[in-house]
Every structure is written in C-alpha cells, then in structure tokens.
Amino acid sequence: YRLGENKDNKLKDIVSTIQSEQNDIIRAERNLPLLIQGVAGSGKTTIALHRLAFLIYEYREQLEAERMIVFAPNSLFLDYISSVLPELGVGNISQTTFPDWALRTL
C-alpha cells in the first residue's frame, strides 16, 4: 500500500477521518503480510497502531496485549506515539526502543 501525504504534525486517532484505503489496511486479514509505504506524515504509524488495536479487539481470544511490544526508533518518537494505544483502549502493550528493551532483557 502507498499512502498520500498529510500536512498535520500530530499523531492522532484517525477514526473520524479514516479513508477507505486506510480502513482496508487496518482491517486486512490477520495473517496477511503488509508493507505500508508513504511519505513522512502520511499516516503509516497511525495505521499500524490502529491495526494493532483492531487485531487485539477482533482476536481478543487468541491475542494478548500483555505479550506484545511496539518498538520505536528513538525516545522522541516514542513520546510522540505513546498516548495513541491507550486512547484506543489498548493500554497493556509495552512501548520502548529496541536498545532500551535489549538492555533490560538480555
């Protein structure tokens, strides 16, 4: 999928402004591998987080949020996205950078 450009500087819940193409990506089959491409600000991260929330809701009998983790490239980006999943009702997913996770885990 290739997404268009978005001029907004805030990562937000897109439910009220969701486009058909974005909805298709969010609701794609569970086992379907997805590659999302787009320019900065086109909604890739927002769609990924909404898809994660959708999958957890749709497959709540099989998927456990507590066993999932979202890796961000850096702490600044993590701060940018940190409120999205809790706002979508998925507050039990760990969100961290890979180096921080590796230091705690290994």
Distances (CA, A) of 38 to 61, 97, 106: 32, 22, 34
CATH value of 2-105 in 3.10.20.30, 3.40.50.300, 2.60.40.10, 3.20.20.70? 3.40.50.300
pLDDT score at 4: 54
pLDDT score at 60: 92
pLDDT score at 5: 53
pLDDT score at 32: 85
> Which parts of the chain register pLDDT below 70?
1-17
